[in-house]
Amino acid sequence: MIDFIEGAIAYIDSEYIVVETAGIGYRLFCPNPYAFVSREGHQQRFFTHHHVREDAISLYGFGSRDERDLFRRLLDVTGIGPKGALAILSAATPEQIVMAVEQENVAYLTKFPGIGKKTAQRMILDLKDKLKGFTPSFITSAAAAMTASPEAGAGSLQEALEALTALGYTDAELVKVKGALAEQAQQGGTVEQLIKQALALLARG
């Protein structure tokens, strides 16, 4: 079992990234490949999940263990496969997903691609007790974010905006989401989290 891969990001596609290590390029399907645009050519560690089925063998990569572990828990929910789990993780942070499940917020969960009311209810039923272990780390992250200064978020905001521009988004489109991104950046949001939030907001129009 491959637990993680560390290497240089060789290139990025709409569904996956390729990480080169020891002369081998590993294709890793991940929630938001374009979140790593600013890291292309640089060393990065990805926590992996090896998924095997009759017609395919796939490797999934995640920037954190929490994200990888949440992906695995989503796969345990009836009606959610790897593509569905990636779509959910692309549209929200792990913190937001866990909070929605713990609060039994069906309306929020049904906003995810391919998630209807029945599947949202199944997520709550299957995951509510299993996700309790995530809460302490999320609280720690939130506490650290509260102490971040506005200046500390300026760099991550600029990097996120540059990455989104590289993806083809116009200044007019980015103006619509810049306020929300600036707020998250001031709270300690990483470049990856900012790009995730922007893509989710832009997708809603």
Q: From residue 10, give the alpha-carbon distance in Å to each of 29, 43, 44, 50, 128.
A: 14, 10, 11, 20, 38
Residue ranges of domains in the chain: 4-62, 65-138, 148-199
Q: How many CA atoms, within 13 angstroms, populate the side-chain half-sphere of residue 116?
A: 3
Among 1.10.8.60, 1.10.150.20, 1.10.3470.10, 3.40.50.300, what is the CATH number of 65-138? 1.10.150.20
User: 66: pLDDT confidence band, cut at 50, 70 and 90?
Assistant: confident
Q: 4-62 and 65-138: same fold?
A: no
Residue 16 forms beta bridges with which residues?
29
Burial 131-157 (b: 16+ CB within 10 A, else e): beebeeebeeeeeeeeeeeeeebeebb
pLDDT for 145: 39
User: 139: pLDDT confidence band, cut at 50, 70 and 90?
Assistant: very low
pTM: 0.66
Q: Which of 56-60, 113-117, 164-168 has the lowest mean pLDDT?
A: 164-168
Segment 154-189, tens digit of pLDDT: 678 888 888 878 767 788 788 888 888 888 888 888
Q: From residue 13, give the alpha-carbon distance in Å to each of 40, 64, 171.
A: 11, 20, 23
Residue 80's identity, in one-letter code, is I
| Cβ(31)–Cβ(74) below 8 Å | no
| Cβ(40)–Cβ(11) below 8 Å | yes
Calculate what percentage of the chain has a pLDDT beyond 70.
87
pLDDT for 137: 46
Instruction: Please tell me the distance from the alpha carbon of residue 18 to that of residue 184, in angstroms, as a whole number.
Output: 29
Helix (H) or strand (E) holding 65: helix 65-75
Asked whether residue 130 carries a pLDDT value surpassing 60, the answer given is: yes
More confident residue, 12 or 144: 12
Taking all residues of the chain, what is their mean pLDDT, rounded to a whole number?
84
Query: Could you tell me which of 159, 31, 160 has the C-alpha nearest to residue 94?
Result: 31
CATH no. for 4-62: 2.40.50.140
Instruction: Please tell me the distance from the alpha carbon of residue 60 to that of residue 49, in angstroms, as a whole number.
Output: 5
pLDDT for 133: 60
pLDDT for 141: 42
Instruction: Please tell me the distance from the alpha carbon of residue 202 to that of residue 96, in angstroms, as a whole number.
Output: 18
